[in-house]
Amino acid sequence: MRGHLRTGAWRFLLIVTAVGVAAWALYREAIVGPVVLPLQVLTAQLTLASVHLLGLEGARLGTVVYHPEGFGYEISHGCTGLVPVALLATGILAYRASVAEKIVGVLVGAPALLLLNLVRLVHLYVVGVRRPYWFAPLHQWVWELAVVLATAGLWVAWLLWVDRDLSHDTERGHGGVWRVGRPSGRPINGVGHRVPRKLMAARNVCR
């Protein structure tokens, strides 16, 4: 059992590391730019629509969202929320779980991170218009940390949900194996009735 767990842990670490290195090496504007561009435009459209819902002025030029008074920012490939979604999906797919549990994790986690990214972009737009001196620290530090913590938090929450059955089995016994008793003829559970030795030596496996 310990060998199996160690093998699974090493497999998980190797997959996550390999995907992380590949993403670091390949996630460049020149490589992924043409592929991610439609997502950048869609993100800019959603950001502008959200800004209008808040009653603020705004316009869009391609992937750039700007205010008539001059403030604006470009939604690059790194601002689409694709990176945290990819990291979360990698952590989910690399972990030991059923296909259904992995699908649920991705279908719940990915939209949650994309929604958080949209909230981030809208908040940064409002800050840039009203408090421009706060834009840089919020963009580079506060929101970056918030996205990292949210990604890790969603993954941990999914792990706890997946391992709920395993923890229940651990409380019941080793893998659901119930031992009736030892062939000693002693009373079981203090009832005082003795069970035949052949029955006490049996092992019932709960499937």
Residue 171 pLDDT more than 50?
yes
In which band, very low, low, confident or very high, does the pLDDT at 77 lie, cut at 50, 70 and 90? confident
Tokens of residue 5, six digits: 């767990």
Does residue 154 come out as left (phi exceeding 0), alpha (psi in the -120 to 50 range) or beta? alpha
> Is 66 in a helix, a strand, or coil?
strand
Give the chain's mean pLDDT. Answer: 80
Confidence at residue 175, expressed as pLDDT on a 0 to 100 scale: 45
How would you label 112-149 residue by residue, b for 16+ Cβ within 10 Å and e otherwise? Answer: bbbebbbebbbebbbbbbeeeeebeebbeeebeeebee
Amino acid identity of residue 180, one-letter, is V
Tell me the helix, strand and coil percentages in the chain, rounded to 5: 70, 5, 25
pLDDT digit string (tens) for 90-132? 999 988 899 999 999 999 999 999 999 999 999 999 999 999 9
pLDDT of residue 170: 52
pLDDT in the model for residue 167: 58
Per-residue model confidence (pLDDT) at position 7: 56
Q: Supply 91's token pair.
A: 């952590």
Residue 5 has pLDDT above 70, yes or no: no
Residues 6+ apart with CB under 8 A from 122: 47, 50, 51, 54
SS3 64: strand
The amino acid present at 74, given as its one-letter code, is: E
62: left (phi over 0), alpha (psi -120 to 50) or beta: left
pTM of the model: 0.73
Q: Which amino acid is at 57?
A: E
Q: Hey, which residues does 205 pair with through a beta bridge?
A: 177
Domain segments of the chain: what residues?
Answer: 2-162, 174-205
Q: What is the pLDDT of residues 36-75, one digit of tens each?
A: 999 999 999 999 999 999 999 999 999 999 999 989 999 9
